[in-house]
Amino acid sequence: MFDTYFHDPIYNLMVFLSNYLVDFGSVIILATIIIKFIIYPLYSGQIKNTIASKKAQPELKEIQKKLKDKTLDQFKRQELMLQMMKVNKKHGVKIFTPILSIAVQLTITLALYWIIYKGGFPKVDTSILYDFVKSTKEISMTFLGYFDLTKSSYIIAILAALTQFIHMEISMPDVKLSNLKTEKKPQKEGVKEDMLTSFQVYIKYGMPIMVLLMLAFTFNAALGLYWLTSNIFLIFQEKSVRGSKEEIKKITENEKNK
């Protein structure tokens, strides 16, 4: 299933593009952009569903409080469950959308990653090509006539790490190193919050460093170019949904203040 619906279509797309582009670097960039545009509606739908879920939350909480009553009979419980379904429908909440969206996005990303990392290039695997896709004997594993994509590149690794940090800065603007110095809170609540804060800080500042080290010393420049292109797309993607994320933040803050 993974090969049929994800790996093979992306592989064929990249071979198809290689017939018209000068090098594999150009193929990686264009293929990544095309695929990111294809899965963008999934991400956008996920954000909209989150907003709908936040709006439905107050009504759902009231119903959940009633469900905690142990004296309720089975008929009353079923009635309350139906009410929850009606609330979700009223606000346009699709319960399985986030799971499906994330699963599809991750699988497509994994397929693209795997093809670039170990995809049968520069030689083409003709056994999985579609009939309408022309086979090229060998693809030039270069970019701009300078970068050898079969080897690591410090320049591409640095650019990938830098764009990774920019993406993290845009998507996690409230996460700062200073957040690690938190005020004392009630024990149970404080421990959970401190752990979450620490995790977010380490992800935001540690991820770019990890990307730099992996791409500079472990992976080839082909994977680095994919990472760089993907980060640039994600930066614009985050900017495009900034208004929606601000709406989510406002709803969350209003809920906390109640």
Is residue 86 scored above 60 in pLDDT? yes
Contact, 115 vs 10, CB < 8 A? Answer: yes
Binned at pLDDT 50, 70 and 90, residue 157 comes out as very high
For 2-61, how does the pLDDT look when each residue is reduced to its tens digit (9 = 90+)?
Answer: 888 888 898 899 889 888 888 889 999 999 999 989 888 887 777 777 777 777 778 888
What's the confidence (pLDDT) of residue 39? 86
**What is the DSSP secondary structure assignment for residue 135, as one 8-state letter?**
P
Position 166, amino acid: I
**Can you point out the beta strands (E) in the chain?**
142-143, 147-148
Range in 4-13, 70-79, 171-180, 187-196 with the lowest mean pLDDT: 187-196
Q: What is the mean pLDDT of the chain?
A: 80
Range in 13-22, 161-170, 198-207, 242-251 with the lowest mean pLDDT: 242-251
Q: What secondary structure does DSSP assign to 173-212, as a single string?
A: TT--GGGGSPPP--HHHHHHHHHHHHHHHHHHHHHHHHHH
What are the backbone angles phi and psi of residue 143, rounded to the nearest 5°?
-145, 125
Contact, 114 vs 11, CB < 8 A? Answer: no
What is the pTM (predicted TM-score) of this model?
0.76
Q: Contacts for 106-112 with beta carbons within 8 Å, 24 or more apart?
A: 107/2, 107/6, 108/6, 108/10, 108/35, 108/38, 108/39, 109/230, 110/6, 111/2, 111/6, 111/7, 111/10, 112/10, 112/31, 112/32, 112/35, 112/226
For 142, the 3-state DSSP assignment is strand
What's the confidence (pLDDT) of residue 161? 94
Is residue 210 scored above 70 in pLDDT? yes
Contact, 207 vs 13, CB < 8 A? Answer: no
What's the confidence (pLDDT) of residue 213? 92
d(CA 120, CA 123): 6
What are the structural domain ranges in the chain?
A: 2-145
What's the confidence (pLDDT) of residue 127? 84
Binned at pLDDT 50, 70 and 90, residue 114 comes out as confident
The more confidently predicted of residues 223 and 53 is 223
Q: What is the number of helices (H) and of strands (E) in the chain? A: 9, 2
Position 63, amino acid: I
